[in-house]
Amino acid sequence: MNATESIRDLSEVSWVSNLMAERLSASGDTTGIPYYHYRWKKKWLADFVAWPETNDQVSAIMNFASNNNIPTIPRGGGTCYYGSASPTRGGVVIDTKRMDKIKEVNKEKGWTIVEAGAVWEILNNELRKHGLTTPVAPQSSVASTLAGWLAIGGKAGIGTPKYGSMIENILEMEVVRPNGTIETVTGEDMLPFYGTSGIAGVVTTIKLKVIPIPESTEGLMFAFDELGKAIDVLTRLSKTKTQPIYLRLTDLEYEWRIQGGLPPNTKGLFFIMVTYSGSADEVNESIKTARGIFEVAGGHEMQQDYYQKNWDDRYIVEMKLKLEVPTLSMQNFWVPLEYVEPIVKRMYKIAHNFKINSCFYLVLGGSSKARLCAFAPSDHRHWMHFMAGKSMLHKLVKMMYRLGGTLYTLGLQNTVYIKRYQPEDYRRYIKLREKWDPKGIMNPDKLTHCNMSYTRLNLMFTMNGHFRRLQAILRRAKNILQIPITYQEGNI
């Protein structure tokens, strides 16, 4: 069929498939949590998977879906982890990864026009041939697509402390609305596509800012014995005249897991990594300032080759932890830096009481806010251990909201919190869907409706936490996935 022809039967379209293997592949993400954990959803498996290559093809399938009330789920790289592209009522997953062409590069004016299914790392590899790079990128760049990071709200990653969030680096976009209309949007009209899991339509092309490859890129990594000192240093680094392009804080367990060990004679439980880019003089001055802040605070400098190893892994760091443990539960918080210490200490206390694993990393965004990721490494075959990790994360969510933060990513799993804790956002999402998707076909059960009530969720995790605590008191709680390093989390 031609791209502009109307679709009458999905089974007749060459770029649409209903093969079970492809439906399974497109219906999950990199969460590592088994499918049965999500069977409270109505229908977790897609009926069809589509791989459009043009705006017209996206428009054709949206027209068909709208006319037949078929749920439609836009999908990028599937790296979100929160079920943002997971079907909940069957329907069609629109996989955008074949829409990955670089249409134009304007080096003089500093922009490129790229199809939104392009993978960040591949895009940057191509831009380097022109002496260019993107100002910002996610830490999952090895697989994440442009529209995917936009849809989950790309506020913290590589480049964001210096250049701002992803939406601040976009000049215009081409989109396909739920009714099949193709539009070009700019300015505030782009905001309905930012952090909204595709409920306003499918982003197909992005005009993105680009910058010349910096003359110099260098960094440092220091370890600290105390969490408070590490956060104080992080705060000072976030306020320096020249902003870093990357500022990350991790704890010992996270660092050990992503690198498979630590250098000999490592001292400290918390690790700050900072990277600067720009002119050689600018970077040298920034490194000198950062080193002074580290040393005054009593930090222990890590070997430069270890820093380099972490910097080289910047595009895969999120993926590595997911590969290192059988099952990984996590939560993402968007919080001011002053909230980090109480949340992390609370996490350690709960983990100690529940006899479970925990670790975290933090990445600076902008305006002294950071993305704080709390992890509960587990193995779902150890059911109580796994559910205790989920219970811990739920407790941290409630604490985070009490402090005044918000969730960084919403998607499917976190929709349950929106109506209770983010009422203004909830009303905004309702209005957005009413305006652009009155039939409710775009990514159902994301942001505006949830099949599980907060009351039920809260009761389930509260009861599980009590059972796990009782197991620990009776010394029946099994420790699993321990790292071979003495590390008393609860006593930091």
Q: Centre a 10 Å sphere on the Cβ of residue 352 and count the other Cβ atoms it contains.
A: 16
In the predicted model, what is the mean pLDDT of residues 49-65?
95
- pLDDT tens, 152-184? 989 999 999 999 999 999 999 999 999 999 999
Tell me: do 367 and 224 sit in the same domain. no
Write the CATH number for 272: 3.30.70.3450
Write the CATH number for 174: 3.30.465.10
Look up the pTM and report it: 0.92
CA distances from 276 to 239, 247, 492 (A): 14, 9, 30
Q: Is residue 481 part of a domain?
A: yes
Most confident of the ranges 63-67, 408-412, 487-491: 63-67
In the predicted model, what is the mean pLDDT of residues 81-85?
81
Tell me: do 56 and 78 sit in the same domain. yes
Angle between helices 252-259 and 304-312 (to 10 degrees): 70
Tell me: do 88 and 123 sit in the same domain. no
Tell me: do 284 and 206 sit in the same domain. no
Q: What does the pLDDT read at residue 1? A: 36
Q: Which tokens hold the place of 107? A: 């080096």
Q: What does the pLDDT read at residue 326? A: 87
Q: Centre a 10 Å sphere on the Cβ of residue 187 and count the other Cβ atoms it contains.
A: 8
Tell me: do 336 and 409 sit in the same domain. yes
Tell me: do 185 and 293 sit in the same domain. no
Q: Is residue 430 part of a domain?
A: no
Please say if the pLDDT value at position 348 is more than 70: yes
- pLDDT tens, 204-217? 999 999 999 999 99
> Which residue, 73, 95, 117, sits at the end of a domain?
95
- pLDDT, averaged across the chain: 91
Between CA 87 and CA 72, with CA 68 as vertex, the angle to 5 degrees is 25
Tell me: do 335 and 373 sit in the same domain. yes
Tell me: do 186 and 281 sit in the same domain. no
Q: Centre a 10 Å sphere on the Cβ of residue 406 and count the other Cβ atoms it contains.
A: 17
Q: Is residue 480 part of a domain?
A: yes
Write the CATH number for 354: 3.30.300
Q: Which tokens hold the place of 267? A: 């001292």
Q: What does the pLDDT read at residue 441? A: 95
Please say if the pLDDT value at position 485 is more than 70: no
Q: What does the pLDDT read at residue 487? A: 43
Instruction: Write out the residue range of the structural domain in which residue 240 sits.
Output: 216-319
- pLDDT tens, 23-45? 988 887 766 554 545 554 557 88
Query: Which comes out higher in pLDDT, residue 282 or 42?
Result: 282
In the predicted model, what is the mean pLDDT of residues 191-203?
94
> Which residue, 43, 69, 95, sits at the end of a domain?
95
Quick check: helix, strand or coil at residue 412? coil
How many structural domains compose the chain? 4
